[in-house]
Amino acid sequence: MSKSNHEKIYPPWSRTESLPEMTAEAGVDFDDFIAAIKNDLSIEEMSEKFEVSQPTISQLKEHFYRYGISSVIGGD
C-alpha cells in the first residue's frame, strides 16, 4: 500500500511524556504528587502545596487518570 505525498507516515507507536517527566518539568516532586492524589487533595490544595498554578496541577492530574504514570503506547 503506497502513501500519497499528502499523507503523513507515523510509527506504529507514540510517546507522550511520562508523569515523572512532567512533574519534574513543573517543579513538583513526583512522589509527593502521587501521595497528594492518594490523599485526595483538591486541585486548590495541591496548587498551594506545590506552589504551582491550578491549571498545571489540573493537567498533571488529568494525565495521571488518563494515561497513568508512563505513556509509551505501542501498536503492531
Quote the DSSP letter at residue 75.
-
pTM above 0.85, yes or no: no
Percent of the chain with pLDDT strictly greater than 90: 62
pLDDT category at 3 given cuts 50, 70, 90 is: low
Radius of gyration, alpha carbons of the chain: 17
**Segment 26-47, tens digit of pLDDT:** 999 999 999 999 999 999 999 9
pLDDT score, position 7 = 66
